[in-house]
Structure 1
C-alpha cells in the first residue's frame, strides 16, 4: 500500500477520534454520574457506557472527515 493511502488515512482518523472521544467521554461520564447521583458501582458502568459512546461517535466522524478531506 502507498504511504498515504485512503485506508491508512481513515484508520488514522478513527484512531485519533477514538482517543479524543475516550478522553472527553471519561471526563463527561464521571461528571454526569455524580451530577445524576447514580448509586454505588453503577457509576463505573455509566462512565464506561458514556466513554464508549463518545469514542465511537468521535472515531466515526473523524474517520469520515479524513476520508472526505484531500491534501
Structure 2
C-alpha cells in the first residue's frame, strides 16, 4: 500500500571513499536534513568510479524511491 510518504536514497560515489582515503561527510548531513523535511532516507550505497555501476544504481534507485541524491 502506497502511503504517499516521500523516500530517498543516497549514492556515494568514489574510489577514494571505498579505499578509506576520504571519509564521507555528506550522509549524516543529508539524513538529518531529509528527516527534518519529512523524507525518509531508506538506503545509502557506496559505489566505485565506474560509469556502468553508477548508471545501474541510479536507475534502480529512481524506480524505487521518490528522490535520489548523489555525492
Select the structure that is richer in helix.
Answer: 1
Both structures adopt the same fold (TM-score exceeding 0.5): no
Rg comparison, structure with higher value: 1
> Structure 1-normalised TM-score?
0.32
Select the structure that is richer in strand.
Answer: 2
> Structure 2-normalised TM-score?
0.32
